[in-house]
Structure 1
Amino acid sequence: MSGRSRMKLTTGGRRLVAAALVQSLGIGLFMASSMAFYTRQVGLTPNQVATGLATAGGVALLVSLYGGVLADRYGARRVLAVVYVGRAVCCGAYAFVTSFWQFVVVTLCAVACDRAGPPVLQALVANAVPEQQERTRLLAVVNVVRNCGLGVGAMAAGGALVSDTSTAYRIVLATIACAFLCGALLVLRVREEHGRKAGTRASREAGAPGRRTLPDARYLALTGLNFLLSFFDALLLVAMPVWVLDHTDAPRVTVSVLFAVNTVLVVVLQIPVSRFADGLHRTSRMLTWTGAVLAVGSLCFAAAGGSPGWASVAWLAAAVAALSLGEVIANAAVWDLSIALAPPEARGRYLSVFNLSINGQRVLGPIIVTGLLLGGGTAGWIGAALVFAVAGMAAERVALTAGRSIGAPATAPAEA
């Protein structure tokens, strides 16, 4: 095993991982307890909550772009710390919400901070960790830690849910706010050296006449294709439960088991799979593999709909395993490519635009999945498989062309 595969986290990397763990614990607490707080303590109806979240999510798509612009101008470390502080303030504000419109305003601010965070974090990792493969593995570790933190935080929310009192929920909100403040303090201790000069240059040139404000056409094309390849999220969260309950003979408890399978597989596979993101050719090829694996998962879902009893469960398990593998392959590939194909002086702006593919899928994915895929039954799954396969191959071609145009190395540097 090479020294590269035994990568040890730098001090800055460990602080970023610790920040991810702390704030993911807070997010897990919030996700598990927020609906009960909104409906039982604030007095909102489920429809009001859904409307507020949808409205905030749509508006935040555009607002989140400014995170990358600010990261280029003022530095990713400072902006990410401000994002975490903003989320802490929003958690505190929720404790004083008494009406629907107050809920919408606070939620819009909270979701905007949430959507702006991931590309700014990527920009900070790129500035703090100069070696390309090391930063991809650091992002993999952050993702694994975040998933674990979400689970632990969700379980910890059980106390508030059992108590079901205003005091208990306010304590939870205060705890979440403290978690984000701790994350901000940890982020501020990360040294942001690599790319500092480029960021300063971007700040000076931001207002120059004729300055490019959008990524180039190839980067935008890759962003659009990633919108399709990130549909593993909507397939798991929306399509899978509906398909299991309404179109298969599998027991209802299968839904919970499959969610657990996905969580375990992502935690176990993300770091090992990230090692394959090694040079332009191998990393781009991972996009084709993403499309192929998601296509296999779609066909397994289709087979589950026409199979009896435990055969249906087996097909569903295979489908979720394929979705999970597709998720970790896609994550590793796009983390690497979205940073490598972005010019250092405009990295934050490029990453914020690329992140629209993921946030757009979160907003539009459920609509597309329920309206087109599930509405088409077995034919819908077969159509989805074709779309994934073609999108993966096209994404590989676009990434290779974009990389060659900027002189990206086809393979990783040889080890000494």
Structure 2
Amino acid sequence: MLWIALVDRIGSGLWASVSVLYFTYVTGLSVAQIGTLVAAAGAVGIAGAPLGGRIADCLPLTHVLIALQLLRALASCALLTTDNYALLLTFSAAGSFGDRAANVLTKLYATRVAGPDRVRYQAVNRTVANAGWALGGLVSAAALTIGSTAVYPWLLAGDALSFAAVALATARCGEPPSASRTITTSKDSALPVRAVSPWRDRTYLAYVATETVLFLDDAVFKIGLPLWIAHSDHAPHGLAPLLMVLNNVMVVTLQVPLARFGATTAEARALLIPLSAAFALGGVAMALSATGGAVTATLFLTAAATAFTVAEMLHATVSWELSAALAPGTAQGAYLGVHGLAAAVQRSLGPLAVTAAIAVGPLGWTAFGAIVSVTCAFQHRIVRDRLSGPTLSVPTVTVSEH
């Protein structure tokens, strides 16, 4: 699965940096149309996480993943065939649905295969994915130096090809054991077992709600830092891409070493305390970046980027473990699907949160860090009672012979 993650993210890196340019210069969409298209596609993508997880509890996981990767490939290819706005919106929404569902099911695959080592497995997977994203972005940047719009369709085609390659590679992966299905050797290949519903689990839903807030580090790097720097009177505008590079380098080099501090469920919950401090420090550093000249702004913005990157890595470790540990083995797909809603919803609400902090000013960033920090403490309290019982790890699959 690590090679699959690398190829997948290389393709995504090719397309992510030119998607707006493609819709602007190739299909001729206006700014308002592009904004609506992205928002609508993102809204449809939200449904991909819970639906994909539910389906994966009933059907072979690898088969569902292959279908989703082919959907992403076809959606990307379809974008090349038209400049009709309704069709572009439809194809983008289909691709977004497949993307969010595939992300959740890739995590589910790792959970089922790695078992107790799922945190380390996910850390390695995330490191490889970040390296792939950076490689795809570098190829895209090199292609853009040509200065011709003719290169945009080729980058989109490369994105589609990566999904097709991932589907072929997934077909060679073995089906992981699942407690939600009873594998038999009779003509009834799989008999589903009764599973609980995450939608009736108030503790898990409350946990997912707090996760939506903790995923805001994504919006900080994609929207918050670049906009704050762009509207700063002192910060060098060229600092924004350098801080993105810093973020990527830190994740690639430190994610795996940090993962060992959250190898067990109890250790993962304990990491919520330093995670709370990292978010608070990031908010304060952002606020202090507005208090001096260029050197002061650069130093505090670098400190903020470092703090938020540490928060990103700590939260990834905590989230990987707790999202699976809080889920019963017979419904891990459904539960992880609901957990996937947190990241999907954050993609819509995150930009609003960070732009609100920017609009308020330094005090807004201080409040932003404080709110996320308090949410960490709240999550620490929410999961305490559930985790005081037996750890909900991946159970052994039942095999019956007739």
Fold-level match, TM-score > 0.5?
yes
What amino acid is the match of 1:275? R
C-alpha separation in 2, matches of 1:233 and 1:193: 30
1:403 aligns with 2:387: yes
- Tell me, which stretches of 5 or more residues in structure 1 are unaligned? 1-15, 411-416
Q: What residue in structure 1 maps to residue 72 of structure 2?
A: 87
Aligned match for 1:265, one of 250, 261, 269: 250
C-alpha separation in 2, matches of 1:301 and 1:165: 38
Return 394-403 or 98-107, whichever deviates more. 394-403
C-alpha separation in 1, matches of 2:380 and 2:296: 35
What amino acid is the match of 1:199? R
Q: What residue in structure 2 maps to residue 198 of structure 1?
A: 180
Aligned-partner SS, 1:283: helix
1:115 aligns with 2:123: no
- Tell me, which stretches of 5 or more residues in structure 2 are unaligned? 184-189, 394-402
Aligned CA distance change for structure 1 residues 194 and 204 (closer, same or farther; 3 Å): closer
Higher helix fraction (1 or 2): 1
Give matches, 1:367-406, under 5 Å: 367-371=352-356, 373-405=357-389
1:176 aligns with 2:159: yes
C-alpha separation in 2, matches of 1:344 and 1:260: 38
What amino acid is the match of 2:296? A
Aligned CA distance change for structure 1 residues 239 and 193 (closer, same or farther; 3 Å): closer
C-alpha separation in 1, matches of 2:234 and 2:151: 40
Aligned-partner SS, 2:327: coil
2:204–2:326 Cα contact (<8 Å) kept: yes
1:285 Cα deviation after fit? 1.1
Q: Deviations over 1:118-177 (max 9, x none)?
A: 2111111122222x2x22111111111111111111221245534566754443333222
Give matches, 1:41-56, under 5 Å: 41-56=26-41
C-alpha separation in 2, matches of 1:226 and 1:40: 37
C-alpha separation in 2, matches of 1:120 and 1:18: 16
Aligned-partner SS, 2:174: coil
Q: Deviations over 1:2-22 (max 9, x none)?
A: xxxxxxxxxxxxxx0000011
1:205 Cα deviation after fit? 4.7
Aligned match for 1:98, one of 83, 86, 89: 83
2:224–2:355 Cα contact (<8 Å) kept: yes
Aligned-partner SS, 1:319: helix
Aligned-partner SS, 1:249: coil
Aligned CA distance change for structure 1 residues 182 and 409 (closer, same or farther; 3 Å): closer
1:316 Cα deviation after fit? 0.7
C-alpha separation in 2, matches of 1:305 and 1:229: 24
Aligned-partner SS, 1:408: coil
C-alpha separation in 2, matches of 1:380 and 1:336: 31
Q: What residue in structure 2 maps to residue 149 of structure 1?
A: 132
Q: What residue in structure 1 maps to residue 349 of structure 2?
A: 364
State the percentage of identical aligned residues. Answer: 27
1:338 aligns with 2:320: no
Aligned CA distance change for structure 1 residues 36 and 378 (closer, same or farther; 3 Å): closer
1:52–1:104 Cα contact (<8 Å) kept: yes
Aligned-partner SS, 1:275: helix
Q: What residue in structure 1 maps to residue 398 of structure 2?
A: none
> Normalising by structure 2, what TM-score?
0.90
C-alpha separation in 2, matches of 1:235 and 1:156: 25
Aligned CA distance change for structure 1 residues 104 and 193 (closer, same or farther; 3 Å): closer
C-alpha separation in 2, matches of 1:167 and 1:302: 43
1:273–1:329 Cα contact (<8 Å) kept: yes
Q: What residue in structure 2 maps to residue 10 of structure 1?
A: none
1:203 Cα deviation after fit? 6.2
C-alpha separation in 2, matches of 1:255 and 1:173: 26
1:33–1:160 Cα contact (<8 Å) kept: no
1:314 Cα deviation after fit? 0.6
1:254 Cα deviation after fit? 1.3
What amino acid is the match of 1:18? W
C-alpha separation in 2, matches of 1:185 and 1:277: 33
Aligned-partner SS, 1:305: coil
C-alpha separation in 2, matches of 1:53 and 1:409: 37
C-alpha separation in 2, matches of 1:158 and 1:280: 41
What amino acid is the match of 2:360? G
Aligned-partner SS, 1:251: coil
2:10–2:133 Cα contact (<8 Å) kept: yes
Aligned CA distance change for structure 1 residues 237 and 366 (closer, same or farther; 3 Å): same
Return 331-340 or 238-247, whichever deviates more. 238-247
Aligned CA distance change for structure 1 residues 379 and 347 (closer, same or farther; 3 Å): same
Aligned match for 2:3, one of 3, 18, 28: 18
Q: What residue in structure 2 maps to residue 11 of structure 1?
A: none
Aligned-partner SS, 1:190: coil
What amino acid is the match of 2:337? S
Aligned match for 2:21, one of 24, 33, 36: 36
Return 65-74 or 166-175, whichever deviates more. 166-175
C-alpha separation in 1, matches of 2:295 and 2:181: 56
Aligned-partner SS, 2:181: helix
1:343 Cα deviation after fit? 1.1
1:123–1:351 Cα contact (<8 Å) kept: yes
What amino acid is the match of 2:158? T
Aligned residues: 387
Aligned-partner SS, 1:96: coil
C-alpha separation in 1, matches of 2:71 and 2:339: 22
